[in-house]
Every structure is written in C-alpha cells, then in structure tokens.
C-alpha cells in the first residue's frame, strides 16, 4: 500500500507520531532541571495525550502551523516539560500544545470571547482566558519609532507599573505572577489595520523574559514572521542575536534574564 496522499491525514499521522514519542519520553524521564518547579509528571497526565491523538486522527481540521513548525516547538518542550507554557492564541492546535506539556501549566490567552467559548465547549479542561488589547495594527510603525522616547519602555519597570504604550497591563494576574519557561506568540490577529496586532504581545513577552528571576533562559516562539510587524518587532525586542533557529514562518529565540546581560536592555 502506498503512502496516503491526503495532506490532512499526513499531518494527523505526524502529530500522532509526536504524541506517541512524547508519551514514551515522558514515561521514562523526570522533571527537567531547566523548568520552574511544578507537579511531578505521572501516568495521570496520559489522558490528554490520548485525547489529542484521537482528536487529530479523526478530524479534517489541522493545526494552523506546519508539521516542521510544530516539531520545532515540540523539540524544546520535550526537554523542558513539565514547565510553564504561555500561548498567545486559542485555536485548532490548543489541545496539541497542552498535550505536549503533560504535568505542566499551559495557559492560553484569546482575544475573541466567542471563539474562546466555542473551543472550551469541546475542550473544557484547557486553561484559557479572554483578554483585551489596546493597540491597532495601524499604529505599529508609530509605536516602534517612538518607543525610545518613553523611559518606561526600557527595562526599569515591570509591565504592571510601566507607562510604555506597548506594555500590556490588562492580562489576568496569573500571567504576571508566573515565571514562564516557554512562550508562543501566535496571536492576536495582525492581518488588517483595525486588528490589535502583535506589537504589545512581543514587547511584553520580551520584558517578561528579561525579568526572569530563576535560573535558565526563556524560550520564545513567534509565528508569522513572514509579516512585517512580527519580523520587525521580534528583531527590535527579542533580538537577532538571541534567534537560535527557525523554520517556515516560525522563529525561536532563547532569551537570557537581564541580570545575565551586559549593556543596553533589549538588543
């Protein structure tokens, strides 16, 4: 029998392979020293992986990212899970991300309350919050050109204390009180002028990563870097020198805390 030609089926088979590999790996490894202390992994974590395999093997809807992009993040989670994983955006890939961090804390931030309700109605065990953004994509050029004139846009203040127009201060307290090990920026929407754009998300993630208090670095993934805003803001605040790899439309940065950096904040 030849290989299946249906691209959706190929992706589903690829995801199933990832989940099975994750199950085997997590069954024989303990908590990674790179992660913040969390609950130890146990066999009780298995149902979400099995649910994910069943879901993606029986649906014609595939995740927004390509298999190679998913595999890039998976390779990091494989070594860091269980850890604190923050995901901007809730979508067809959310069950997958939660499944790839068994025993860890995975939190999703979604801008559309109706979409949030729709996803949670079929996957109520996902940890997700509706959030609001105050920027518009049409402001992206002005914000990046003027941020240096705001002292608070540098690294002196926490996000909640900052007056920087790029700082997001309306997230749930859990976002600010948790030290995130892995962060995925795949939202909010950023493909039309009145959309929020990802300017504030990328800036705020950079601040959170730089203010990390524990040991180690923060792995940050930014999707859709083929678009001008995602690419430029990532280079401005996450820095090319911390870009460790990329594939397709996904970039992977490894950000050290500010106390491990010399010279100017950011880049």
Query: Is 216 contained in some domain?
Result: yes
pTM here?
Answer: 0.83
Separation between Cα atoms, residue 189 and residue 187, nearest integer Å: 5
Domain that holds residue 205: 7-260
Going residue by residue through the chain (267 aa), what tens digit of pLDDT does each one get? Answer: 444 455 555 555 555 566 555 555 554 444 444 454 443 444 444 577 666 666 666 666 777 899 999 999 999 999 999 999 999 999 989 999 999 999 999 999 999 999 999 999 988 889 999 999 999 999 999 999 988 888 888 765 789 999 999 999 999 999 999 999 999 999 999 999 999 999 999 999 999 999 999 889 999 999 999 999 999 999 999 999 999 999 999 999 999 998 755 446 688
Query: Is 101 contained in some domain?
Result: yes
Query: Is 22 contained in some domain?
Result: yes
Provide the pairing of β-strand 84-88 with 105-110: parallel
Q: 97 vs 69, 168, 201, CA distance in Å?
A: 12, 23, 19
Provide the pairing of β-strand 250-255 with 84-88: unpaired
Tell me how long the chain is: 267
Query: Is 2 contained in some domain?
Result: no
Separation between Cα atoms, residue 206 and residue 204, nearest integer Å: 5
Query: Is 267 contained in some domain?
Result: no
What is the pLDDT, as a whole number, of residue 40? 40
Task: State the total domains in the chain.
Answer: 1
Query: Is 78 contained in some domain?
Result: yes
Query: Is 265 contained in some domain?
Result: no
CATH classification of the domain holding 205: 3.40.50
């Amino acid at each position: 029998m030849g290989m299946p030609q249906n691209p959706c089926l190929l992706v589903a088979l690829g995801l199933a392979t990832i989940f099975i590999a994750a199950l085997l790996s997590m069954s024989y490894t303990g908590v990674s020293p790179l992660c913040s202390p969390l609950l130890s992994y146990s066999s009780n974590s298995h149902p979400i992986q099995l649910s994910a395999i069943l879901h993606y093997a029986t649906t014609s809807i595939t995740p927004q990212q390509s298999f190679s992009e998913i595999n890039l993040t998976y390779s990091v989670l494989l070594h860091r899970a269980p850890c604190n994983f923050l995901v901007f955006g809730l979508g067809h890939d959310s069950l997958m991300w939660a499944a790839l961090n068994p025993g860890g804390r995975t939190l999703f931030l979604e801008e559309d309350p109706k979409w949030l309700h729709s996803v949670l109605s079929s996957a109520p065990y996902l940890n997700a919050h509706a959030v609001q953004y105050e920027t518009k994509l049409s402001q992206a050029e002005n914000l990046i050109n003027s941020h240096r004139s705001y002292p608070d846009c540098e690294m002196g203040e926490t996000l909640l204390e900052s007056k920087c127009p790029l700082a997001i201060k309306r997230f749930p307290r859990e976002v600010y009180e948790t030290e995130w090990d892995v962060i995925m920026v795949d939202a909010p929407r950023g493909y039309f002028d009145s959309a929020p754009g990802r300017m504030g998300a990328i800036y705020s993630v950079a601040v959170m990563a730089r203010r990390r208090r524990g040991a180690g670095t923060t792995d940050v993934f930014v999707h859709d870097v083929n678009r001008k805003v995602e690419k430029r803001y990532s280079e401005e605040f996450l820095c090319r020198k911390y870009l460790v790899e990329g594939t397709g439309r996904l970039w992977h940065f490894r950000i050290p805390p500010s106390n491990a950096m010399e010279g100017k904040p950011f880049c």
